[in-house]
Chain A
Amino acid sequence: QQQVKQSPQSLIVQKGGISIINCAYENTAFDYFPWYQQFPGKGPALLIAIRPDVSEKKEGRFTISFNKSAKQFSLHIMDSQPGDSATYFCAASSYRGSTLGRLYFGRGTQLTVWP
């Protein structure tokens, strides 16, 4: 059972455009929602993360929007660049109970930014 559902599976955006990736979750115990970026042959790298007490977090060109009532969160990449072409994963974890620190990942979005 996929704890975190991610869409779309792939995304093609022109340089300078906005890339939007969406995720949804069911487990209301989740209280930490990171996004990871992964290049081929590399491990995932933490991009940005949010906690459910805020609705938006921005770091440079990357913004997370969080909707607690809908149990959804999304990543927006503004002014997308060819160097942003990578696979993006949303994830969620809970700091309570036996799953302390364990991350549940979405299936990933392959982003391609055309020059």
Chain B
Amino acid sequence: DTGVSQNPRHKITKRGQNVTFRCDPISEHNRLYWYRQTLGQGPEFLTYFQNEAQLEKSRLLSDRFSAERPKGSFSTLEIQRTEQGDSAMYLCASSLGTGRGYTFGSGTRLTVV
């Protein structure tokens, strides 16, 4: 286990469809974060988990977005009724303890057509 794994790497979907992304963090990391990055911008925080508990959600995370981390292991991010504005890179990161040194995955690039 050498890093944070995200699947799929790319997803093209039609507007209105639901999509789900998966993140497998570094195994001993208890914190897991989701960020969204659009072209030419820095990553923006969406939500984070400490073990299985979702402790904070950004206002960016509308009702169409839901994230889970069952048993404090992998996490899924689901977007329902996708819109073109959801097109972005979705990044997952994990950390141990204080959350200082994040390790990011390579992201899932979502394109909504």
Binding site for B on A (CB under 8 A): 4, 6, 32, 34, 36, 41-46, 49, 89, 91, 93, 95, 98-108
CA distance A99 to B47 in the complex (A): 10
Residues on the A chain within 8 Å of B45, using CB = 102-104
Cβ–Cβ contact B41 & A107, under 8 A: yes
Binding site for A on B (CB under 8 A): 4, 31, 33, 35, 40-45, 48, 55-56, 91, 93, 95, 98-107
Identify the interface centre among A6, A103, A104, A107: most chain B CB within 10 Å of its CB: A103
Cβ–Cβ contact A42 & B106, under 8 A: yes
Distance in Å: Cβ of A85 to nearest Cβ of chain B: 16
Residue of B nearest to A89 (CB): B42
Cβ–Cβ contact B93 & A43, under 8 A: yes
Q: List 8 A-B contacts (CB under 8 A).
A: A32-B100, A41-B106, A43-B106, A44-B43, A46-B103, A93-B99, A102-B48, A107-B40
Cβ–Cβ contact B42 & A108, under 8 A: yes
Cβ–Cβ contact A108 & B41, under 8 A: yes
Cβ–Cβ contact B99 & A105, under 8 A: no
CA distance A6 to B40 in the complex (A): 12
Q: Which residue in B33, B41, B101 is a CB contact (below 8 Å) of A46?
A: B101
Residues on the B chain within 8 Å of A103, using CB = 33, 35, 43, 45, 102
Cβ–Cβ contact A100 & B91, under 8 A: no
